[in-house]
Chain A
Amino acid sequence: MPYFVRRLIMFVVVVIFAATLNFIIPRLAPGDPISSVLEELRARGQTVQAEDDIVAVYRERFGLDKPLHEQYISYLVNTLQFDLGYSISYFPQTVESALLNALPWTIGLLAVSTFMAFALGTLLGALLAWPRAPQFLQGLIPLFMLLSAIPYYLLALLLMYVFGFLLKVLPLGGAYTSATVPSLSLPFILDVIKHGILPGLSITLAGLGFWALGMRGTMVTIQGEDYLTLAEAKGLRDRRIFFGYAVRNALLPQITALAIALGSVASGAVLVEVVFNYPGVGWLLYNALRSSDYYLIQGVAFFLVLTVALAVLVVDLIYPLLDPRIVR
């Protein structure tokens, strides 16, 4: 079977598996979402009349009265069409529209800072292992070790404390100043950037050490390779040897590591959004959890798995273009 077909099948299997787990787990818990909402209302001292009728109506409306396999089929069909149902806490908003509102913020923050961490970390790591690079760079190694050991949220809290609380140079949270109305004007964009610096920096810095140390390790192991000696013998310029021969080869394990790390990158970013009150997907998930918004939780969880699987798929499909030895 061709390489990309295998990868594609893998992707579909992962997505269906994730959707199935998403279906099973809530149903393993006792009760159903409707009763638990009513339960909560009762707990707050509110009385609910004709409780049984309400439960019956809602069970019918959400299809909970049907046999399990029918529920499963219609759930799968809906999910794969990205019809994720209604959010309970944001009712009457649907889960997909809540997701769509949060998505641009997360993509803007996560994609930019993850890419920066990867690119910068890889470049610095490569230089750390390059004999002809400036020596002072070696001083970065302890810093990278420290950074790669600190969890995302701790770094986020630290940055927030220093720059937001002590120095008061950057906002403590949110994606933009709360009184303003989102628009494509320059002041608003600058405001968004200002709010993005701290969460972005947390994600970038937390990933930087990991990528730099990984790249440095690979670069060290390829230093003795014959093709580098031959490249130097050919009288190539340093820059060409560095990028075309050394980095180009050391990059391959980095790309593999990227595919593996994407999952933790996504979950780390979720925590950063919570710390900074950043209205992205992570923050949405946090709120959904707090208000036991089952459909929203399921929707976000499914969506996160989907994005990670998609990112891994993209990395897998790009890899053969970078390494001709992989049989396509």
Chain B
Amino acid sequence: MTQDVSLQVNNLRVHYHTQDQAVKAVDDVTFSLYAGERLGIVGESGSGKSTLALALMRLHKPPAKIEGGEVILGETDILKVNREQMRQVRWSEISFIPQGSMNSLNPVMKIKHQMSDAIKAHQQGWTQQKISDRISDLLGRVGLSNSIADMYPHELSGGMKQRVCIALAIVLEPRAIIADEPTSALDVVVQRVVIQTLNDIQQQLNAAMIIIGHDMGLMAQSVDRLAVMYAGKMVDVSPVSSFFNDPLHPYSQLLISSLPSPDEKRELTGIPGMQPSLLDLPSGCAFHPRCPIAVEKCRQQIPPLRQIEESRRTACHLVEEKLR
């Protein structure tokens, strides 16, 4: 099975430069995003998900700095293009859906102007009529009425704002969309609706999409593949069905067993211990202090992300050895 790759990330490293040392928020991350697929990225808060998402569009702010690696979108490594070329790539090739927060839309600008801004920055030839037709078409697609176009953000509910952001993300039909916790600020009912809208849109466009989140339940229903981040590293990548049926990495196993399940009435266990501070990482595998099966090797060597099966990769010495 060969698939077209939309976005190829190789050995990406992003560090925050604090006074005395570098925080390795994204450490040697490699993954592919295939055309038309939905890739979920999960991980505890502080594991580097947002830093990764921003770096993919080169939107990271100091003290963050990309230390190395490649982000290949289509044919070009966008870490090598100049500022103006990067500006042109943004939104037309890769767009962004922010956290469903109150602040992502400009409070003093009508919705239609925030949408037409994005069009005008990339398409010179469009007439006013074409632009407003496009805007009402998009609002319709995310289930909003056309009258929204003339409103200001404060006149909309959280769910409506997030749908506006989804419509905004597809104005230029990019090949890739990154959504960073698109539903975490919304209440549960609205979350489902927004995720559904997101999925419908993604299928219509056949765009590749990265959905970042920490709600495993929501993820299970909405992504094709799942990647797990732990302390700045990607430690487990797997199709979603095998991830839930037969998780490989011990961290993934704990994540899944900590999920409440409707048929079994058992205590919610959670995961023992805490995620280590990025300033003071344990030696070897960063997860070993919390790992129930860790051995001496885990304390000494950092496990690389290895291909385990056809479509699964895991960074764990023990999984690797068991299969050898």
Q: Which residues of A contact B (CB under 8 A)?
A: 225-227, 229-237, 240, 244-245, 248-249, 252, 322-325
What chain A residues lie within 8 Å of B90 (beta carbons)? 232-235
Q: Is the interface of B mostly helix, strand, loop or mixed?
A: loop
Q: Which residue of B lies closest to A249 (CB)?
A: B108
Assembled-state Cα–Cα distance A237/B83 (Å): 10
Interchain CB contact under 8 A, A236 and B121: yes
With A229-B98, A235-B92, A236-B117 as known contacts, state yes or no: A324 contacts B103, CB within 8 Å: no
Q: Report if A235-B91 is in contact (Cβ < 8 Å); known contacts: A229-B59, A240-B117, A244-B117.
A: yes
Judging by beta carbons under 8 Å apart, are B103 and A235 in contact? no
B57 and A233 form a contact (CB under 8 A): yes
CB nearest neighbor in A for B113: A244
Tally of B interface residues using CB under 8 Å: 29
Q: Kindly list chain A residues whose C-beta atoms are within 8 Å of the C-beta of B91.
A: 233-235
Closest to A323 in B: B108
For residue B89, which residue of chain A has the nearest CB? Answer: A235
The answer to whether B59 touches A235 (Cβ under 8 A) is no
B196 within 8 A of A: no
Where chain A touches its partner, the secondary structure class is helix
Q: Is the CB of A231 within 8 A of B154?
A: no
Residues of A within 8 A of B96 (CB): 230, 233
Query: A248 near B59 (CB under 8 angstroms)?
Result: no
Q: Is the CB of A237 within 8 A of B121?
A: yes
B107–A235 touching, CB < 8 Å? no
Least distance between B117 CB and chain A CB atoms (Å):
6
The answer to whether the Cβ of B88 comes within 8 Å of any Cβ in the partner chain is yes
> Which residue of B is nearest A231, CB measured?
B106
Question: CB of B104 within 8 A of chain A?
Answer: yes
Selected contact of A226 from candidates B89, B98, B168, CB within 8 Å: B98
Are A237 and B87 CB-contacts (below 8 A) given A232-B59, A325-B152? Answer: yes
List, in ascending order, chain B residues with CB within 8 A of A237's CB.
87, 121
Q: Is the CB of A235 within 8 A of B87?
A: yes
Please state if A233 and B59 are interface contacts (CB–CB under 8 Å): yes
Q: A233-B90, A249-B107 are in contact. List 4 more A-B contacts (CB 8 A).
A: A230-B98, A232-B59, A233-B57, A233-B96
27 contacts between A and B (CB under 8 A): A225-B103, A226-B99, A226-B103, A226-B104, A227-B103, A227-B105, A229-B59, A229-B104, A230-B96, A231-B117, A233-B57, A233-B96, A234-B118, A234-B121, A235-B90, A235-B92, A236-B87, A236-B118, A237-B87, A240-B121, A245-B106, A248-B108, A248-B109, A323-B108, A324-B108, A325-B107, A325-B152
- Is there an interface contact between B104 and A230, defined as CB atoms closer than 8 Å? yes
Q: Is the CB of A322 within 8 A of B108?
A: yes
CB nearest neighbor in B for A228: B106
The answer for the CA separation of A237 and B108 in the assembled complex, in Å, is 19
Least CB distance, B153 to chain A, in whole angstroms:
9
Closest residue on chain A to residue B94 by CB atoms: A233
Rounded to whole angstroms, the CA-CA distance of A252 and B107 in the bound complex is 11
